A and B are shown apart, each in its own frame.
Chain A
Amino acid sequence: GQQVMQIPQYQHVQEGEDFTTYCNSSTTLSNIQWYKQRPGGHPVFLIQLVKSGEVKKQKRLTFQFGEAKKNSSLHITATQTTDVGTYFCAGEGENSGGSNYKLTFGKGTLLTVNP
Protein backbone atom coordinates (compact mmCIF):
# COMPACT_ATOMS: atom_id res chain seq x y z
CA GLY A 1 0.00 0.00 0.00
CA GLN A 2 0.87 3.64 -0.19
CA GLN A 3 3.42 4.79 2.39
CA VAL A 4 4.38 8.35 3.27
CA MET A 5 7.61 8.90 5.16
CA GLN A 6 8.39 12.19 6.86
CA ILE A 7 11.69 13.39 8.28
CA PRO A 8 12.95 14.48 10.67
CA GLN A 9 10.75 13.22 13.47
CA TYR A 10 11.81 16.08 15.74
CA GLN A 11 13.55 19.40 15.19
CA HIS A 12 14.58 21.91 17.81
CA VAL A 13 15.72 25.34 16.63
CA GLN A 14 16.63 28.70 18.05
CA GLU A 15 14.17 31.43 17.23
CA GLY A 16 15.21 33.03 13.95
CA GLU A 17 16.72 29.87 12.48
CA ASP A 18 15.21 28.18 9.45
CA PHE A 19 13.40 24.84 9.51
CA THR A 20 12.65 22.25 6.84
CA THR A 21 10.64 19.04 6.93
CA TYR A 22 10.62 16.51 4.10
CA CYS A 23 8.00 14.09 2.91
CA ASN A 24 8.52 11.09 0.60
CA SER A 25 5.90 8.79 -0.87
CA SER A 26 6.37 5.22 -2.04
CA THR A 27 4.01 5.91 -4.94
CA THR A 28 3.25 8.81 -7.25
CA LEU A 29 0.74 11.22 -5.76
CA SER A 30 -2.05 13.20 -7.31
CA ASN A 31 -1.54 15.88 -4.69
CA ILE A 32 0.01 16.50 -1.31
CA GLN A 33 -1.38 18.45 1.62
CA TRP A 34 0.31 20.01 4.62
CA TYR A 35 -1.15 20.44 8.09
CA LYS A 36 -0.05 22.02 11.36
CA GLN A 37 -1.12 20.77 14.75
CA ARG A 38 -0.44 22.76 17.91
CA PRO A 39 0.08 20.79 21.14
CA GLY A 40 -3.30 19.63 22.41
CA GLY A 41 -5.06 20.87 19.29
CA HIS A 42 -6.38 19.45 16.08
CA PRO A 43 -4.67 19.41 12.66
CA VAL A 44 -5.19 22.59 10.66
CA PHE A 45 -4.93 22.56 6.89
CA LEU A 46 -2.16 24.75 5.46
CA ILE A 47 -1.96 24.09 1.72
CA GLN A 48 -2.45 21.62 -1.09
CA LEU A 49 0.05 21.13 -3.93
CA VAL A 50 -1.16 19.54 -7.13
CA LYS A 51 1.24 20.24 -9.99
CA SER A 52 4.63 18.69 -10.62
CA GLY A 53 7.38 21.08 -9.44
CA GLU A 54 4.87 23.40 -7.81
CA VAL A 55 6.07 25.96 -5.27
CA LYS A 56 3.70 27.91 -3.05
CA LYS A 57 4.42 30.47 -0.38
CA GLN A 58 2.49 31.61 2.66
CA LYS A 59 4.41 34.42 4.35
CA ARG A 60 7.48 32.68 5.86
CA LEU A 61 6.37 29.19 4.75
CA THR A 62 7.46 27.74 1.41
CA PHE A 63 5.98 24.49 0.11
CA GLN A 64 7.43 22.47 -2.76
CA PHE A 65 6.16 19.47 -4.70
CA GLY A 66 8.75 17.39 -6.49
CA GLU A 67 8.93 16.93 -10.24
CA ALA A 68 8.07 13.24 -9.94
CA LYS A 69 5.19 14.03 -7.55
CA LYS A 70 6.61 11.66 -4.95
CA ASN A 71 8.22 14.11 -2.55
CA SER A 72 7.53 17.43 -0.94
CA SER A 73 9.02 19.85 1.53
CA LEU A 74 7.95 22.60 3.87
CA HIS A 75 10.46 25.29 4.70
CA ILE A 76 9.97 27.94 7.37
CA THR A 77 12.23 30.98 7.24
CA ALA A 78 13.25 32.69 10.46
CA THR A 79 11.18 30.61 12.86
CA GLN A 80 9.13 32.21 15.59
CA THR A 81 7.74 30.74 18.80
CA THR A 82 4.31 30.74 17.18
CA ASP A 83 5.60 28.13 14.70
CA VAL A 84 5.79 25.49 17.43
CA GLY A 85 3.78 22.38 16.63
CA THR A 86 3.75 19.21 14.58
CA TYR A 87 3.75 19.52 10.81
CA PHE A 88 2.16 16.71 8.83
CA CYS A 89 2.14 15.96 5.16
CA ALA A 90 -0.64 13.87 3.64
CA GLY A 91 -0.43 12.32 0.21
CA GLU A 92 -3.43 11.56 -1.95
CA GLY A 93 -2.90 8.63 -4.27
CA GLU A 94 -3.33 8.70 -8.02
CA ASN A 95 -6.77 7.62 -9.20
CA SER A 96 -8.07 8.70 -5.83
CA GLY A 97 -11.49 10.20 -5.87
CA GLY A 98 -15.10 9.28 -5.65
CA SER A 99 -15.46 6.14 -3.58
CA ASN A 100 -11.71 5.43 -3.87
CA TYR A 101 -10.41 8.24 -1.74
CA LYS A 102 -6.82 7.35 -0.84
CA LEU A 103 -5.11 9.67 1.63
CA THR A 104 -2.11 8.74 3.77
CA PHE A 105 -0.50 10.91 6.44
CA GLY A 106 3.15 11.05 7.33
CA LYS A 107 3.99 10.68 11.00
CA GLY A 108 4.81 14.35 11.34
CA THR A 109 7.72 16.52 12.41
CA LEU A 110 7.55 18.10 15.84
CA LEU A 111 9.09 21.55 15.79
CA THR A 112 10.13 23.26 19.00
CA VAL A 113 11.53 26.77 19.06
CA ASN A 114 13.78 28.17 21.76
CA PRO A 115 13.10 31.91 22.25
Chain B
Amino acid sequence: NAGVTQTPKFHILKTGQSMTLQCAQDMNHGYLSWYRQDPGMGLRRIHYSVAAGITDKGEVPDGYNVSRSNTEDFPLRLESAAPSQTSVYFCAMKRLAQALKGDEQFFGPGTRLTVL
Protein backbone atom coordinates (compact mmCIF):
# COMPACT_ATOMS: atom_id res chain seq x y z
CA ASN B 1 0.00 0.00 0.00
CA ALA B 2 2.89 2.31 -0.79
CA GLY B 3 3.63 3.08 2.87
CA VAL B 4 0.16 3.78 4.29
CA THR B 5 -0.83 1.56 7.19
CA GLN B 6 -4.10 1.49 9.08
CA THR B 7 -5.09 -0.22 12.29
CA PRO B 8 -7.23 -1.98 13.21
CA LYS B 9 -8.57 -3.82 10.15
CA PHE B 10 -11.91 -4.58 11.79
CA HIS B 11 -13.63 -3.33 14.91
CA ILE B 12 -17.02 -3.45 16.57
CA LEU B 13 -18.11 -0.66 18.89
CA LYS B 14 -21.17 -0.04 20.96
CA THR B 15 -23.10 3.20 20.63
CA GLY B 16 -21.51 5.90 22.77
CA GLN B 17 -18.09 4.29 22.98
CA SER B 18 -15.01 6.11 21.77
CA MET B 19 -12.30 4.89 19.48
CA THR B 20 -9.24 6.04 17.56
CA LEU B 21 -8.45 4.75 14.09
CA GLN B 22 -4.76 4.86 13.35
CA CYS B 23 -3.12 5.94 10.11
CA ALA B 24 0.59 6.12 9.49
CA GLN B 25 2.68 6.88 6.42
CA ASP B 26 6.39 6.32 6.05
CA MET B 27 7.11 8.28 2.88
CA ASN B 28 7.50 11.71 4.50
CA HIS B 29 4.60 13.20 2.55
CA GLY B 30 2.43 16.00 3.84
CA TYR B 31 -1.05 15.43 2.46
CA LEU B 32 -3.15 12.93 4.38
CA SER B 33 -6.91 12.43 4.24
CA TRP B 34 -9.52 10.33 5.95
CA TYR B 35 -12.43 8.99 3.89
CA ARG B 36 -15.47 6.94 4.67
CA GLN B 37 -17.02 4.65 2.12
CA ASP B 38 -20.65 3.64 2.28
CA PRO B 39 -22.71 1.64 -0.25
CA GLY B 40 -24.10 3.93 -2.93
CA MET B 41 -22.33 6.98 -1.49
CA GLY B 42 -18.85 6.52 -2.87
CA LEU B 43 -15.90 7.97 -0.98
CA ARG B 44 -16.49 11.02 1.16
CA ARG B 45 -13.68 12.89 2.81
CA ILE B 46 -13.95 13.44 6.55
CA HIS B 47 -10.85 15.49 7.41
CA TYR B 48 -7.53 16.18 5.81
CA SER B 49 -4.15 17.60 6.67
CA VAL B 50 -1.57 19.21 4.44
CA ALA B 51 1.20 19.24 7.04
CA ALA B 52 1.90 18.62 10.69
CA GLY B 53 -0.12 21.01 12.81
CA ILE B 54 -2.58 21.84 10.00
CA THR B 55 -5.92 20.07 9.65
CA ASP B 56 -9.14 20.98 7.90
CA LYS B 57 -12.66 19.68 7.53
CA GLY B 58 -13.75 17.65 4.56
CA GLU B 59 -17.22 16.87 3.32
CA VAL B 60 -18.53 14.93 6.36
CA PRO B 61 -16.58 16.00 9.49
CA ASP B 62 -19.33 15.84 12.13
CA GLY B 63 -18.68 13.28 14.86
CA TYR B 64 -14.99 12.96 14.03
CA ASN B 65 -11.83 14.65 15.29
CA VAL B 66 -8.30 14.55 13.95
CA SER B 67 -4.89 15.73 15.00
CA ARG B 68 -1.53 15.90 13.24
CA SER B 69 1.34 16.23 15.67
CA ASN B 70 3.94 14.88 13.22
CA THR B 71 4.32 14.03 9.54
CA GLU B 72 3.85 10.31 9.92
CA ASP B 73 0.64 9.90 11.94
CA PHE B 74 -2.91 11.08 11.36
CA PRO B 75 -5.33 9.46 13.84
CA LEU B 76 -9.10 9.74 13.48
CA ARG B 77 -11.08 9.87 16.71
CA LEU B 78 -14.72 8.99 17.25
CA GLU B 79 -15.61 10.46 20.64
CA SER B 80 -19.10 8.98 20.95
CA ALA B 81 -19.80 6.44 18.24
CA ALA B 82 -23.20 6.23 16.55
CA PRO B 83 -24.64 3.50 14.29
CA SER B 84 -24.51 6.01 11.40
CA GLN B 85 -20.72 5.82 11.65
CA THR B 86 -20.73 2.18 10.61
CA SER B 87 -18.58 2.30 7.50
CA VAL B 88 -15.28 1.43 5.89
CA TYR B 89 -12.66 4.06 6.67
CA PHE B 90 -9.69 4.74 4.45
CA CYS B 91 -6.67 6.86 5.09
CA ALA B 92 -4.95 8.22 1.99
CA MET B 93 -1.64 9.92 1.31
CA LYS B 94 -1.08 12.24 -1.63
CA ARG B 95 2.28 12.05 -3.32
CA LEU B 96 3.09 14.90 -5.64
CA ALA B 97 3.86 14.63 -9.34
CA GLN B 98 5.59 11.38 -10.15
CA ALA B 99 6.65 11.12 -13.78
CA LEU B 100 3.82 10.32 -16.21
CA LYS B 101 1.19 9.51 -13.63
CA GLY B 102 1.02 12.90 -11.94
CA ASP B 103 -0.03 13.44 -8.35
CA GLU B 104 -0.86 10.08 -6.87
CA GLN B 105 -3.00 9.28 -3.86
CA PHE B 106 -2.24 6.05 -2.03
CA PHE B 107 -4.96 4.49 0.06
CA GLY B 108 -4.40 2.34 3.10
CA PRO B 109 -6.08 -1.07 3.37
CA GLY B 110 -9.03 0.32 5.33
CA THR B 111 -10.73 -0.22 8.67
CA ARG B 112 -14.14 -1.86 8.70
CA LEU B 113 -16.02 -0.38 11.64
CA THR B 114 -19.39 -1.51 12.95
CA VAL B 115 -21.26 0.48 15.59
CA LEU B 116 -24.03 -1.44 17.31
Give me the interface of A with B, judged by CB distance under 8 Å.
1, 6, 31, 33, 35, 42-45, 47-50, 56, 88, 90, 98-101, 103-108
User: Dominant SS at the A interface?
Assistant: strand
CB distance from B74 to the nearest CB of A (A): 14
Contact with A along B72-116 (1 / 0, CB 8 A): 000000000000000000101010000011111111111000000
Q: Which residue of B lies closest to A50 (CB)?
A: B102
- Interface pairs A-B: 10 shortest CB-CB: A48-B102, A107-B42, A105-B43, A42-B107, A45-B104, A43-B107, A105-B42, A108-B42, A42-B110, A99-B50
- Cα A107 to Cα B59 in complex, Å, equals 14
Beta-carbon contact of B90 and A105 below 8 Å: no
* Residue B26 at the chain A interface, CB threshold 8 Å: no
* Residue B34 at the chain A interface, CB threshold 8 Å: no
Residues of B near A50 (CB, < 8 A) are 102
Beta-carbon contact of B50 and A47 below 8 Å: no
Beta-carbon contact of A48 and B101 below 8 Å: yes
Q: Which residue from B40, B42, B103 sits with its C-beta under 8 Å from A106?
A: B42
Residues of B near A101 (CB, < 8 A) are 31, 33, 48, 50, 56, 94
| A-B contacts, 6 listed (Cβ < 8 Å) | A43-B107, A45-B104, A48-B104, A99-B56, A101-B50, A107-B40
CB distance from B99 to the nearest CB of A (A): 11
A47 in contact with B42 given A42-B1, A99-B50, A99-B54 (CB within 8 Å): no
CB distance from B40 to the nearest CB of A (A): 7
Residues of B near A42 (CB, < 8 A) are 1, 90, 107-110
CB distance from A45 to the nearest CB of B (A): 5
Q: Which residue from B103, B106, B108 sits with its C-beta under 8 Å from A48?
A: B103
- Cα A39 to Cα B54 in complex, Å, equals 33
CB distance from A41 to the nearest CB of B (A): 8
